[in-house]
A and B are shown apart, each in its own frame.
Chain A
Amino acid sequence: GNSVTQMEGPVTLSEEAFLTINCTYTATGYPSLFWYVQYPGEGLQLLLKATKADDKGSNKGFEATYRKETTSFHLEKGSVQVSDSAVYFCALRKGGGADGLTFGKGTHLIIQP
């Protein structure tokens, strides 16, 4: 079946540091890949997505590239801010159908000033 594996948290960084949150997946076919973010006290928000190999999703300074050869979709940001502190979820939706999402366990990111 489908699965998503994320790096364990919490991840603690200083402001302006470079961020990478690793995400790898297992799926048949050609899934769509997503990053969702949950800020403290708020609901789950779509951050970015990619629907095919080599696609790069980007939003709010965050980027992730769909790497089929390594089955990965790592989230990166060049310079994090305190306001980026949140829980980040990697997710996939298997291709070709109208299906729900399979989520990773989430990575809690803490940015210190």
Chain B
Amino acid sequence: SAVISQKPSRDICQRGTSLTIQCQVDSQVTMMFWYRQQPGQSLTLIATANQGSEATYESGFVIDKFPISRPNLTFSTLTVSNMSPEDSSIYLCSVETGGRGEQFFGPGTRLTVL
């Protein structure tokens, strides 16, 4: 498995602002993903963060709202743009290691939008 850290661990933001969440892994990984877990709900995949190219977004998520960067094989950022209270969620990054399809998750960033 990999050790994954996220910053910030939590934040309270005002409507209309943006927040950038960082995900750092202690080893090089090919696959990194971003998920959202809305209150009382399951996890929903936002996008796959591709190193050296644009992220691949799932249906219902767009780059203007959730821009993602992946500058190298150990780091990615997710920005939540022009936030509204509906964006209040836990945002998690995950990585796939070992070539066996197993994904490991970071601790999450708890975002509250007022």
Say yes or no: A101 contacts B43, CB within 8 Å: yes
Q: A36 CA to B35 CA in the complex, in Å?
A: 14
CB pair A105–B58 under 8 Å, yes or no, is no
The 15 sampled A-B contact pairs (Cβ below 8 Å) are A34-B102, A43-B108, A44-B43, A46-B104, A49-B102, A51-B100, A93-B101, A93-B103, A100-B33, A100-B35, A100-B94, A100-B103, A103-B42, A105-B42, A106-B42
**A102 on the interface (CB 8 Å rule)?**
yes
How many chain B residues touch the partner (CB < 8 A)?
24
Q: Give me the interface of B with A, judged by CB distance under 8 Å.
A: 1, 30-31, 33, 35, 41-45, 48, 58, 92, 94, 96, 100-108
Given the known A-B contacts A44-B92, A98-B96, A99-B48, are A89 and B103 also in contact in the complex, defined by CB atoms under 8 Å? Answer: no
Interface residues of A (CB under 8 A from B): 32, 34, 36, 43-46, 49, 51, 89, 93, 98-106
In the assembled complex, how far is the CB of residue A51 from the closest CB belonging to chain B, in whole angstroms?
7
Main secondary structure of the interface of B (DSSP, over half): strand
Considering only CB atoms, which chain B residue lies closest to A102 in the complex? B45
